[in-house]
Structure 1
Amino acid sequence: MAYLDEFILIALAHFFAVASPGPDFAIILKQSISYGRRNALFASVGVGLGILVHVTYCLLGVALVISQSETLFNWLKYLAAAYLAFMAFQALQSTANKSLDEQSAQVLKAESVRRSFVKGFLTNALNPKATLFFLSLFTLVINPTTPTAVQISYGVYMAIATWVWFSGLSLVLSKHAVRHFFLRSGHWFDRAIGVVLLVLAIRVVWS
């Protein structure tokens, strides 16, 4: 394979990026515990497809524009931070006035899989950390002479690998024993996730 060395570098870089805790992990954790396996798996699909947004603008050359425009990149950061802060605000409003069974039944009905998918997609697509990662990838790792078809295949691989990774996490985190453990202190779990999302929003603004 002519581009095997390049692909291996991309695969390794992507693995460490996707495995590091961040907004994607936080949203999958939230979906798994609060809404169950099905919602978490749809959110994982959204996160995976969000990767294709970054790949697309890199292939179109928009990445170069973003890298040269501090104002444009800052607006992207502020938009992502606002979205994370909004989800944090929702999580921080959680109350403890229901039993475990009532709470579990309510949250499973509280959000459609479509909304979970959109949350996963927007969380990744608006993630400035992902923007910086793909800017670096397409300017420093991928050779400009690499055919567009090969670059697209890299992007498809990363989207699928991301989906597989977070789907695996969804299957583990949505197990009954794990969900029961977290839902026993449901409102505290929601608030903890809210704090995590708020911290991530602040880090996005100040990074």
Structure 2
Amino acid sequence: MLAEWFLVIGICLMGAMTPGASLAVVLRQSLYQGRAAGVITSISHAVGIGVYATASLLGLGLLIVKSPILFVAIKWLGAAYLVWMAINAWRFAGQSKVNLESTSQQLGNPIKQGLAISLLNPKVILFFLALFSQVAGDQLDLQTKALYASTAVVIDGAWYTLVALIATRPAIRNKLVNGSLWLDRALASLLILVAARIAFG
């Protein structure tokens, strides 16, 4: 069991640290709404990860994937949400340098942002189905399944919280905000690429 748990830890670390839409959202929330908002977004994102990790371990994730209507609905809602975020990021690119308060209002509630970016991404549940198919099965007891799910939550939350803490250090935050025009456009482009991958991947 210990070897399987280390495998879960390693793969969850790689999954969390891979740049994507989640990183873009946590960064923007951290830079423009502050450290607390960045941490809240990170924790909310981890909660969403926990939902899909638990669903996969209990066999519910497979039901979602095998339900064409539900899976396609999540896929297109997620892609549309990312496109909407990308449009706003591009539209207001650079304005944060002048008006942080206005940009903060445009970003919305950090709890909703964190949950949405994880729950509206069907790639997350596919990730966990692939992961747990290698280490989980009917032989796993409830305690082990809880350990694997909580491991995914803790790793995800810890990684993005670290990102939020680093990004909001005064020297780093000032540099990023000063270059917010290109940062926002880069994040918007990343969101579009992820949306396309979700919709057509």
Identical-pair percentage? 28
- Give the Cα separation in 2 of the matches to 1:182 and 1:82: 27
TM-score of the pair, normalised by structure 1: 0.87
Q: How does 1:82-101 map to 2 (within 5 A)?
A: 82-94=80-92, 100=97
Unaligned regions of 5+ residues in structure 2, if any? none
Amino acid at match of 2:186: A
Q: How does 1:151-190 map to 2 (within 5 A)?
A: 151-190=145-184
Taking structure 1 as reference, are residues 105 and 63 closer, same or farther at Cα in structure 2, changes over 3 Å only?
closer
Alignment match, 1:104 = 100
SS at match of 1:144: coil
Q: How does 1:34-49 map to 2 (within 5 A)?
A: 34-49=32-47
Unaligned regions of 5+ residues in structure 1, if any? none
Alignment match, 1:197 = 191
Matched, 1:51 2:49: yes
- Give the Cα separation in 1 of the matches to 2:156 and 2:95: 37
Q: How does 1:24-35 map to 2 (within 5 A)?
A: 24-35=22-33
> Is contact 1:94-1:191 (8 Å) kept?
no
Amino acid at match of 1:7: W
TM-score of the pair, normalised by structure 2: 0.89
> Alpha-carbon deviation of 1:29?
1.4
SS at match of 2:137: coil
Encode CA deviations 1:134-165: one digit per residue, 9 max, x unaligned.
11123232132010221012111210111111
SS at match of 1:87: helix
> Is contact 1:55-1:152 (8 Å) kept?
no
SS at match of 1:182: helix
